[in-house]
Amino acid sequence: MALALSSRHGCVLQSEIRNMSIECSRIGGINLSQGVCDTPIPDAVVRGASESIATGVNTYTHYAGLFRLREAIARKQLKFSGMQCDPENEIVVSAGATGALYCAFQTLLDPGDEVIVFEPYYGYHISTLLAAEAVPLYVTLEPPGWTFSLEELERTVTPKTRGIILNTPANPSGKVFSAAELSQLADFADTHDLFVFTDEIYEHFIYTGHEHRSFATLPGMRERTITVSGASKTFSVTGWRIGYAICDARWAKTIGYFNDLVYVCAPAPLQAGVARGMQELGDDYYIGLAREYEARRDRFCDALSCAGLPPYIPDGAYYVLADVSRVPGSTGKEKAMHILNTTGVASVPGSAFFQGGKGNTTVRFCFAKEDGVLDEAMGRLQLLA
């Protein structure tokens, strides 16, 4: 038999986001395609990690993470979402939210199990499902409010559907699911007996008039919900790979074992750094973060409007989908390349977030950039006006 890649290799093909980053560095452009925040890391977090390296927190930790970090997560979760969780049995620290989702899908899904995903989606959700040999089913959110219809959900679900992925605030749309929408989804999950995988990595990037609610706190939802979040975005440490899953002890145990299997544990001193940050940073930090990003959102969306690329204004997270109908090109990729070649600013073609040829009239920009970089990008985008 000839040497060949596994049939699974298709789920890790070069992503459009990575492609645009490569194109961008080829021309030395400003990369607003990738969700890498370059805002400063809080001092407490840096000190917590560097002191831990110096004082010897350098060996494997428990596969579910340092206990002090799990305790800090439990306290933070209670404070911000009112969710009680047991740090001993219900929290697993993972290599980023990415690791938590991978391990959760491996733990709870069998090959052929279907999982409903809202589009526009975050591509890793799909690839991670495919890596578990699960089958994504798509329900489209309709702009400008990125609303879903219960009828479409009911048309999509089948007896083989085991779960639904909820990402709030969402990448790329910036949608923050409302209390009413969450309660509809809770009824839906209950009726069809679904697991709810909630990716809440942008929980602290919430803008005026909106509120983040953890799905697990809705009545009766705790047992079926796997809450995933992490430090990447909140503390600007995307490269540290510290995330976590919070869920019922029955699921958490095996999620922890998968964690152990694929990477043993998240980086020990960096877990300690994140624990320190969670212990020492008060409300003012989280409020300041949301304000800072809201100001960036406002400035950037104004610049997009001026450049003739009307934005779908996000209510949370730090991405914006812009309408690029009037930019030359017949596909989203051609339009994103036109923007890159004309202005030197990289974005992601909207088609990367949808199935089957949708999304060709939008591109996504990430505005998690230092003010100087963002100013330069905003200036350059005016070349399209």
Interface residue list for ligand PMP (CB under 6 A): 35, 96-98, 122, 167, 171, 199, 201, 230, 232, 238, 243
What is the rounded (10 degree) CA torsion for 41, 44, 47, 51? -140
Q: How many Å apart are CA 74 and CA 243, to the nearest integer? A: 13
Please identify, using beta-carbon distances, which residue of 97 and 141 lies nearer to ligand PMP: 97
User: Which residue in the block uniquely carries the two structure tokens 């990729």?
Assistant: 333
Residue 378's φ and ψ, nearest 5 degrees, are -65, -40
Closest CA to 322 of 121, 174, 105: 174
Q: What is the 3-state secondary structure (H, E, C) of 218-250?
A: CCCCCCCEEEEEECCCCCCCHHHCCEEEECCHH
DSSP 81-138: H-----TTTSEEEESHHHHHHHHHHHHH--TT-EEEEEES--HHHHHHHHHTT-EEEE
Please, are residues 38 and 369 in contact by the beta-carbon 8 Å criterion? yes
Nearer to ligand PMP, 148 or 307 (CB): 148
Q: Is the peptide bond before 169 cis (omega within 30 degrees of 0)?
A: yes
Q: How far is the CB of 211 from ligand PMP (least distance, A)?
A: 19
> At its nearest, how many Å lie between ligand PMP and the CB of residue 199?
5
Q: Name the 3-class secondary structure at 189.
A: helix
CB of 36 vs ligand PMP, minimal distance in Å: 8
- Least spacing, CB of residue 121 vs ligand PMP, in Å: 9
CA R_g for the chain: 20
What the block records as the tokens of 45 is 């977090």
**What is the nearest approach in angstroms of ligand PMP to the Cβ of residue 219?**
26
Q: State the amino acid at position 294 in one-letter form.
A: E
Intra-chain end-to-end CA distance of the chain, in Å: 57
Q: Which is nearer to ligand PMP, 318 or 343 (CB)?
A: 318
Q: Identify which of residues 96 and 359 has a Cβ nearer to ligand PMP in the complex.
A: 96
Cα–Cα distance between 240 and 302 in angstroms, integer? 33
The residues, ordered by sequence, that sit 6+ positions from 187 with a Cβ below 8 Å of its Cβ are none
Quote the CA–CA distance of 30 and 376 in Å, as a whole number. 8
Smallest separation, CB 94 to ligand PMP (Å): 8
In whole angstroms, the minimum distance from the beta carbon of 341 to ligand PMP comes to 25
Residue nearest ligand PMP, CB atom distance: 96
CB-wise, 45 or 384, nearer to ligand PMP?
45
Distance CA 290, CA 312 (A): 19
Could you give the CA distance from residue 104 to residue 230 in angstroms, rounded to a whole number? Answer: 15
Cβ at position 314, least distance to ligand PMP in Å: 12
- How near is the Cβ of 160 to ligand PMP at its closest, in Å? 25
Minimum distance, C-beta of residue 172 to ligand PMP, in the bound complex (Å): 8
Q: Which of 243, 349 has the CB closer to ligand PMP?
A: 243
